[in-house]
Chains A and B, each alone.
Chain A
């Protein structure tokens, strides 16, 4: 038999056997050993045949991942598992009281930062200059270092020509964002925003600019300036007469008539 033959060779320890033969013998032994293990695994019902020589335990690769369950100490149930007992409760730190104090302190701070502290009604929370926090959109009201106030429309800055215009178009002072002049320079200038005034008993229309009324000569001029009838505000003739005259539109239109 081959097996006994191998054993004989091994036992004889023939000193004349070459190194190649010895390697081949070792390989053969390893193959037979592996075959015996496989057969034992495949046929669990059969009587296992003892390997011809002591079988070393199957080698476990050091890098092979171990199942997590095997790593856990056995007999200690996980939270929620059967037999699990919650750990003993920790002593109180009076966290409720600490939280209550924190809540109170923050509530006081929130009130304090919302109290207006400047004459313009600005609170501490909104005191920082806000150039960087603007969301650029139509209707944004901006002011540079000068007195002019602009409104942004279609990416163009339109100068609001008078306080009357500012109020007429329902702008409010808290909407005005003071920004750097360099920020205003980023935008193209659009046509100024005027308020057009007219009184019931007069056909004449005036543009209000810097507190002065400017007579608009005729309808073609009115249309050429880009005015619309919806902007015309009806006031009393007395109010119109009290306003000082500015240069007419166009400026060579001659002396302005009184309403």
Chain B
């Protein structure tokens, strides 16, 4: 419960929070609290998603969703750090990771806030493709808000190094794109999170295709253009 209190600081007193990251105040405690709360929120949302298929899928998604976000963090944070350093940033890698964790925590708490809606649709509709697209939309909204926080945080934290501010802003914008691509590919690699109802439970589905093509096919099926085989 103590770790969850950090959410209030991030959501209501974000500039204080970012300022403390800039000053390096209590970074390990902050990171631990963010990690614990994001894992809890993401695991619960994963369990909600997987419940459409089976109990095993619910457990599997509860484990895989936090892994998805943390693995993306591990893959992407060095790029942001070194490019920022290249353009004159004085932030440490820990500060960078703390900022990305802030984005993940915001995403996670927003996903949790969407969980009752997801549960409602889970119980009242059985259209797999619709449920999948609903989740894609929810993740896009929550992820978008998360990176917005990251962008605000980066502006505050990076203030100590004024040199190359404009270049670093561009680095952040491009990094957000890369983060989105890596995240979606990671999600595709770790799928299924929902589980097609006609298929047996699998921890990982055979690779093939890609996230974007699959979303387009789902939209096409909902609109009645194709039948997924």
Contact = CB atoms under 8 A, between A and B. Distances in A.
Q: Do A and B come from one complex?
A: yes
Nearest to B58: A114
A86 interface: yes
Contacts of B41: 103
Interface string A103-121: 1001101100110000000
A97 B1 CA distance: 7
Interface in A114-136: 114, 123-126, 128-136
Contact of A79 (B15, B58, B112): B15
A110 B61 CA distance: 13
A95 interface: yes
A102 B156 CA distance: 31
Contact of A132 (B2, B47, B126, B152): B126
A177 interface: yes
Interface residues of B, number: 56
A176 to B, nearest CB: 11
B98 interface: no
Given A114-B51, A137-B199, A125 B123 contact: yes
Interface string A133-174: 111110010000000000000000000000000000000000
B13 A134 contact: no
B228 A113 contact: no
Contacts of B92: none
Contacts of A201: none
Interface string A74-87: 00001111101011
Given A90-B12, A96-B4, A103-B112, A136 B44 contact: no
A95 B126 contact: no
Interface in B31-64: 37, 40-41, 44, 47-48, 51-55, 58
Given A96-B2, A99-B7, A103-B40, A136 B228 contact: yes
A100 interface: yes
A125 to B, nearest CB: 4
A89 B199 contact: no
Contacts of A90: 12-13
Contacts of B90: none
Interface in B42-96: 44, 47-48, 51-55, 58
Given A79-B15, A95-B7, A126-B53, A110 B159 contact: no
Interface string B143-185: 0000000001001111100100000000000000000000000
Nearest to B37: A99
B56 to A, nearest CB: 10
A22 B6 CA distance: 77
A47 to B, nearest CB: 40
B156 A79 contact: yes
A99 B112 contact: yes
A147 to B, nearest CB: 21
Interface residues of A, number: 43
A100 B48 CA distance: 17
Contacts of A80: 155-159
B58 A110 contact: yes
Contacts of B227: 136
Contacts of A125: 51-52, 122-123
Nearest to B51: A125
Contacts of B101: none
Contact of A124 (B112, B123, B131, B157): B123
A93 interface: yes
B101 to A, nearest CB: 17
B38 to A, nearest CB: 12
Interface centre among A124, A125, A128 (most CB of B within 10 A): A125
Nearest to B11: A95
A110 B44 contact: yes
Contacts of B157: 80
Contacts of B40: 103
B159 A84 contact: yes
A106 B159 contact: no
A137 B156 contact: no
Nearest to A79: B156
A95 B8 contact: yes
B19 interface: yes
B125 A89 contact: no
15 contacts: A79-B15, A79-B159, A86-B18, A86-B19, A102-B112, A103-B44, A107-B47, A109-B119, A110-B58, A113-B123, A132-B126, A133-B198, A136-B198, A136-B228, A140-B198
